[in-house]
Amino acid sequence: MLNVIDPDAARAALRAGLLACPEPDCPGRLRIWTRARPRRVRLAGGQVLVHPDRGRCRECEVTQVLLPAWCLPRRAYGVDVVGAALLAGAQGRGCERAAAAAGVPLGTVRGWLRAVTRASGVLITQAVEVANSYGDPDACSPRTRVDHESSPLAAAVNAVGGAAGVLHLGVAHPRRGTPNSVTGIDYLEIISSRYHRELLHARRLADPTGAIGRAGPWELINVITAGRLLTSRAG
C-alpha cells in the first residue's frame, strides 16, 4: 500500500513509470495495474466513493494500492473521523462519548481505542523517529506531570500529534544554509531535501508534486504511521 496526497498527480506519475516501489531494498519502479475495487468511505461531511489506482513493481512484482492519505486500509471511515474518536478517548471522555464525537457506532470506536492502546509503544516509536529526523526530539514528550501519568492511548495520540506538527513545519520551512561561495549552491538544502524524500518514502508515501504541504493533521499522522494507525502490532 502507498499513501498519496494528490491522487491525480500520483496517477500521472504511475503512468509515466516514476513511482518507486516502497518495499524495503527494492530498486524497482511501479507500472500501472488494474484498479482496486471501489468502496465507500465515511468522512466528516458524508460518504465518498473511492476507486484507488494500483501499481505493480517491475522488479519484485508486489502490487501496491495507491490510497489517498485521508483513507485507512480496509476501513470504512476516513482518518479524520477515526482521529476525532481517538482524540476524545485520549481526553478521557470514554467510549460512548468518543463514539458520539465521531458519529460512529460504539462497538467500532471501542475497537479503535483498543487497537491504538495495544500498539501505543509502536506508534510512539514511529512518532519519535520522525520528530528526531527533523531535529525536534522533544515534540513527542509529555508536557506536564499529568501527561506523564496519562493512559497509553493518550500517550500515543500526544506523540503522533507532536510528530505531525514537526513534519508540517519541516515541510513548510525546509532547512536552508548558506550558498557555497564558489558554486553558489546551498548544499544543506540539497541534503535536507534528499533526506526528507527518503524519510517519506520509508513511510510509504508517494508525493511526486510535494502536495504534502496541504495535508491536514490526521493525514500527516496517517503518513507518519505508514497507514497503520489502527493495524500496528506491539512487539
Render pLDDT for 56-73 as a digit per residue (tens, 0 to 9): 999 999 999 999 999 999
> Taking the C-alpha atoms of 205, 208, 214 and 218 in order, what is their torsion angle to the nearest 10 degrees?
-10
Residue 235: inside a domain, yes or no?
no
pLDDT at res. 233: 77
Instruction: Evaluate whether residue 234 is within a structural domain.
Output: no
Helix (H) or strand (E) holding 156: helix 152-172
The reported pLDDT for the residue numbered 180 is 58
User: According to the model, what pLDDT value does residue 48 have?
Assistant: 96
Q: Is residue 230 part of a domain?
A: no
Whole-model pTM? 0.89
Asked, for residue 232, whether it belongs to a domain, the answer is no
Total domains, the chain? 1
| Structural domain of 131 | 2-224
- For residue 88, the number of C-alpha atoms closer than 13 Å in the C-beta half-sphere is 22
32 within some domain: yes
pLDDT at 197: 80
Residue 46: Cβ-neighbour burial (10 angstroms; 0-12, 13-18, 19+): exposed
